[in-house]
Amino acid sequence: MANGDLLSEFSANDISQFRKDFFQMIKVGAEIDRYYGEGQTDLDVFIPKFEKLSEQFNRKYKGIKIKTRKLIDSYKVKIFIKEKNIKDFFSNSASKIPGLKSVGRTNFSQIDVGNADKFANFLDSIMDKLFLSYINPENGTSTVAAEYDRKEKMVEIIYNAPEILNDNSACFRICAFYALKHGFDKKIEVYGNASTFGFYNILDEIEKREWFDKFNPKFLGE
């Protein structure tokens, strides 16, 4: 993984530890969501177990928080980072990832950063939502959508599972930055406990397309 910018202050071992824990949480959450949509009977075991594991994850990594939410037909795993507003989120992390191509309040390609005047005006007027797209020869293309949650008093990262499970994506690197910048408790076991769920059917190609649709930024307003 290329980590010469936002993650350069952290050791490769620490980044790898977070990656293992985080990826496993996202994968298990995705499978519980699939079970939830199918009405599987094991949910009364899986959901309490996963919510307890989420609490362990949150104690281990102080700068990032996983919360779950049950809807009528889905089980959402929500990711929050400890940043007090969207402007600080952009200046402290998102702006430091190479390859920022465009920004917007409602979509990923509203303003090209090459237009200096429009970009400067946009930065002055950032409110509670932010859409960012990146293109980089080394890391490829990626996107980040973020929204300030006034109830949680944190910034929520709106993600799709396939992208955030790419450790070169801007979305993953931002999550790793906040998770590691506040330090973490190496004594708390997350990966091993998450592995005990025993899920094997995790995000095949069809499901990947479904996840891209499901986590389209249009859901920001819901």
Q: What is the pLDDT of residues 113-127, one digit of tens each?
A: 999 999 999 888 888
7 domain residue, yes or no: no
Q: Determine how β-strand 111-112 pairs with β-strand 129-136.
A: unpaired
Mean of pLDDT values over 159-163:
89
Evaluate if residue 174 carries a pLDDT over 50.
yes
Evaluate if residue 2 carries a pLDDT over 70.
no
What is the number of domains present in the chain?
1
**pLDDT per residue as tens digits for the range 6-60:** 999 999 999 999 999 999 999 999 999 988 888 877 888 899 999 999 999 999 9
> How many CA atoms lie within 13 Å of 72's alpha carbon, on the beta-carbon side?
0
CA-atom Rg of the chain in angstroms: 17
The pLDDT of residue 43: 87
Mean pLDDT score across all residues of the chain: 87
Encoded tokens for 117 = 């005047």
Containing structural domain, residue 78: 12-221
* 38: three-class secondary structure by DSSP: helix
5 domain residue, yes or no: no
- Judge contact between 155 and 92, C-beta under 8 A: no
The pLDDT of residue 134: 94
Evaluate if residue 92 carries a pLDDT over 60.
yes
4 domain residue, yes or no: no
Exposed/middle/buried for residue 175 (C-beta within 10 Å: 0-12, 13-18, 19+): buried
6 domain residue, yes or no: no
192 domain residue, yes or no: yes
DSSP state letter for 85:
S
Q: How far apart are CA 83 and CA 92, in angstroms?
A: 9
Evaluate if residue 221 carries a pLDDT over 70.
no
- DSSP line for 164-207: HT-TTSHHHHHHHHHHHHT-B-TTS--HHHHHTT-------HHH
